Amino acid sequence: MTATTDGSTGALPPRAASASETRMTTPVAAGSSDASDAAQRAIQRATDFLLTTQDAQGWWKGDLETNVTMDAEDLLLRQFLGILDEKTAHAAGLFIRGEQREDGTWATFYGGPGELSTTIEAYVALRLAGDSPDAAHMAKASAWIREQGGIASARVFTRIWLALFGWWKWDDLPELPPELIYFPKWMPLNIYDFGCWARQTIVPLTIVSAKRPVRPAPFPLDELHTDPATPNPAKPLAPAASWGGVFQRLDKALHGYRKVASRRLRKAAMNSAARWIIERQENDGCWGGIQPPAVYSVIALRLLGYDLQHPVMRAGLESLDRFAVWREDGARMIEACQSPVWDTCLATIALADAGLPADHPQLVKAVDWMLGEEIVRPGDWAVRRPQLPPGGWAFEFHNDNYPDIDDTAEVVLALRRVKHPDPARVEKAIGRGVRWNLGMQSKNGAWGAFDVDNTSSFPNRLPFCDFGEVIDPPSADVTAHVVEMLAVEGLSHDPRTRRGIEWLLAEQEADGSWFGRWGVNYVYGTGSVVPALVAAGLPGSHPAIRRAVAWLETVQNDDGGWGEDLRSYKYVKEWSGRGASTASQTAWALLALLAAGERESKAVERGIAWLAQTQREDGTWDEPYFTGTGFPWDFSINYHLYRQVFPLTALGRYVHGEPFTGPQAKGS
């Protein structure tokens, strides 16, 4: 059985499910000059558009759209701190209300099914914005919430937000002791066993869990309980012999420990956690460049007595304001994160591969900005690699504690494509980036996103961790980008690169695809791995490459494009490579096919035709679908620049051939 767009089970969508299909004309025949001409025209329009959207400082940044929990939690934070104003509440209400589905629910991605915790948080936010529970759209939402089990069935993070106002009991939440900060690095469940995003969230939440604050609730939420008389029903324990049962019993023990914990030790632990938090505040006031840790850090420090006018608190709140995107209709959307480094390196690669001169002033300006964003001091990654010199790039404007292995690889690939007036400066930055990436290789030969060997299974088993990924194991897409970068740098035959290649070959799925951790999903993974393997020297005739090509041809939509729905993370067999055609996913498939030597194939011609014919007059593509991934299935992202940079890259490689490989890669 499979899930349909409304969350029910039933038949899969037809192959040609793209909304843009109605705008398409007769497909161009394979091998015709018309395909090349159409691609050239599309390249010119897309290049012109992308050049006009560059910031004067040299960077690009598209909106990073997620779901309304960001907006709801922003209002809840402001209510908790006593700073919620009518303008903010009204603007957030406009956005949240506009995202509600026909059945009264809210989804976590475009066209997705209603999601309970998201719907609860959106409902509460609209109550804060002044919506009456008797209004038709609110009554429909509350009825659906009760049908799904009410607040008691929501995830832990949602119930924490509700506990802040007495809408849920702290006793009925998993315990998270601040003494965790003292666990040594070799001990299971120490904070460095968690992925960096989880680590930054958990440390402040240990303070919140210890303090258990309750602010006066502005209204009751009885309508969200299936039984208002017993709003917090007890859940049965799993069998003691199961991991779930073990960790449930551990949580009960921690609740008991809370009653006998030394006050002096607990106070010291909270102060140590506060120091840890403050030491990791970025120059712009945020934490890790992402919204959730910033929100919880502000709450934690406020509970420890930090005044809202304290420099740390003031900078933190100002950073959260910068996550707001104000729309023309007055609505206010909150970004979970911002992606300027990622967007800039991808835009640079796209423009260079599309034929823009290597010394074009705007490409040089982009390189200048990227060079200024290099991270040259140690961060949390140095806990596992204390002797490794720094030299990477992060994803965001400011996130020096957590450079990103994926971004570093792509920045190096971008720098290699531009003729800069100070080549020595570029070479030094590239050298540091390559050295850092090589030093961040995990022991299995692959690469994660932020940390080395962040693979402990214990964090995922905690009752507290019921939402999203909390560890950062190596993934095929990140490993592929590093391997491609190393190949361009002439390191195809380096033993470390070969280990990465071997790992990628072993990770190929039986159908010929690769799993996509940070993009949706098997199309992204395959579109990342195939170009990397070819760049590293595998011929297009290699069995792994042929299996990947066969899979991509099998899942091509009838309209000529490719698409994959986020349900492939949950219903793998039914949804792998299936979904409405999108510009970014069509481009990923084309990048793999072109690297494999399939330029003259009918599949490539049809894909190029789809891109050319669905491009709008202003050089852009429309893409409401979410093709980026924060946490597979749980947290999805629509990167608004993906629909521009990846199609331009694919069109450029179709017209101009293989991408720039770098002078050192020749003969490697």
Residue 400 bears catalytic tag: no
Separation in Å, CA 243 to CA 21, 234, 239, 288, 305: 49, 19, 8, 31, 38
Cα distances (angstroms) measured from residue 448 to each of 177, 408, 442, 475, 481: 28, 12, 7, 6, 11
Across 453-511, the runs of DSSP E, i.e. the strands, are none
Please report the sign of the dihedral spanned by the C-alpha atoms of residue 391, residue 402, residue 334, residue 283. negative
CB atoms within 10 A of CB 245: 13
Residues in the chain: 668
Distance in angstroms (rounded) separating the CA atoms of residues 622 and 329? 20
> Quick one: DSSP state of residue 288?
T
Cβ 581 vs Cβ 563: under 8 Å: yes
Nearest to 507 by CA among 550, 548, 476, 537: 476
Q: Is the dihedral of CA 523, 524, 527, 531 positive or negative?
A: negative
Measured between alpha carbons, how far apart are the two ends of the chain, in Å? 49
Which of the following is catalytic: 71, 406, 565, 634? 406
The span from the CA of 7 to the CA of 395, in Å, is 33
Among residues 668, 461, 617, the alpha carbon closest in space to that of 23 is found at 617
- Strand, coil or helix: 393: strand
- 244 forms beta bridges with none
Contacts of 543 (CB under 8 A, 6+ apart): none
Query: Which of these, 596, 582, 603, lies nearest to 519 by C-alpha position?
Result: 582
Among residues 525, 535, 463, 389, which one has the least CA distance to residue 238?
A: 463
Please give the positions annotated as active site. Answer: 406
